Amino acid sequence: MGLVTVVDEEGVDFIHASTSLGVVENSLESDYYLSRFIRAVRPQL
């Protein structure tokens, strides 16, 4: 689970907790995350 921080022409960045590195920011377009991404939702307020 992560939180989207940037959406622009270059792609989508998000922050998440890594078991080995702590809190990190990554690009959703990396091969690792593209193969594991399931869905995104906007919580209702």
pLDDT per residue as tens digits for the range 22-40: 999 999 999 999 999 998 8
**pLDDT for 42 beyond 90:** no
Which residues constitute the domain of residue 12? 3-34
What local confidence, expressed as pLDDT, does residue 6 receive? 95
Give the burial class of 26: count Cβ atoms within 10 A of its Cβ; 0-12 exposed, 13-18 middle, 19 or more buried. middle
Residue 42 lies in a domain: no
Tally the domains of the chain: 1
What local confidence, expressed as pLDDT, does residue 43 receive? 85
Measure CA of the first residue to CA of the last residue in the chain; give whole Å: 19
Residue 39 lies in a domain: no
What digits encode the pLDDT tens for the residues 3-14?
999 999 999 999
Residue 18 lies in a domain: yes
What local confidence, expressed as pLDDT, does residue 1 receive? 85
Residue 29 lies in a domain: yes
What local confidence, expressed as pLDDT, does residue 40 receive? 86
Residue 27 lies in a domain: yes
Query: What ranges in 1-45 are assigned the alpha helix state H?
Result: 31-34
